Amino acid sequence: MKTNLLILTIGLFSICVWGQEERYTTAMLSTIEKMDQASEPGELIESANRFERIAKAEKSRWMPYYYASYSLIVMSFDENDGGRKDLVLDRAQELLDQALELLDQALELEPEESELHVLQAFLYPSRIMVDPMGRGMIYIEKMFGSLQRAKTLNPENPRIYFLEGVNKLNLPPSMGGGADVARPILEEALIKFEAFTNEDPLWPNWGEEATRAELEKLQ
């Protein structure tokens, strides 16, 4: 009798866990789709807010924080007012820090942590745009440092090479940049995008189309 009760309890628990996982995945996929389709700043803010609500309900998961931060970083590039841009990026940084804190508490999650350091590198150029002369050297160094950290954790992450190539492209040759330097890095990014696989349907997949677009400009 006790054995049957134990089996029933385990079965009910498994059903509840599966249902919760399905609801989480459905909510995330729906919000990722809305984020990808966003064409206005307000839509990206709404996506970030929805991801935050998911994060509060799923306190141990890093991806909602990641996507909330990503939504705000993307939005920040279209914000022309420096003060407002910094406020948006401050919030994006807070969300990214929360994601990093969650992974710091876990073990053997290096590929995930690589994505967060890539996102950190994606944030820094928007900071530079507020004051290029005053911030350029500081944040360029931080950006490439984040990319190197991401590469150490997962050298097959294609977004590393995409961001490295784009940023090298926008640096003058005197600073180690330019088209000749950037092209092979972007070509490597494209090779890694084509080879990259992950079974998680929520895994970040941005950067491939932009890599192809940048390479087309360099033809």
* Residue pLDDT, tens place only, 92-133: 999 999 999 998 776 555 677 999 999 999 999 999 999 999
Range of the domain at 213: 156-219
Say how many domains are in the chain: 2
Neighbours of 34 (CB within 10 A): 15
pTM for this predicted structure: 0.89
Helix, strand and coil content of the chain, in percent to the nearest 5, comes to 80, 0, 20
**Coil, helix or strand at residue 102:** helix
| Residue 92, in any domain of the structure | yes
Quick count: other Cβ atoms within 10 Å of Cβ 218? 13
Answer yes or no: is 135 within a domain: no
Instruction: Specify if 43 maps to a domain.
Output: yes
User: Stretch 74-79: mean pLDDT, rounded?
Assistant: 96
CA separation, residue 67 to residues 153, 155, 186 (Å): 20, 22, 24
Q: Evaluate whether residue 212 is within a structural domain.
A: yes
Asked whether the beta carbons of 211 and 189 are under 8 A apart, the reply is yes
**pLDDT at residue 8 greater than cutoff 60:** no
Decide which of 114, 130, 146 is a domain's last residue.
130
Residues 95 and 68 sit within 8 Å (Cβ to Cβ): yes
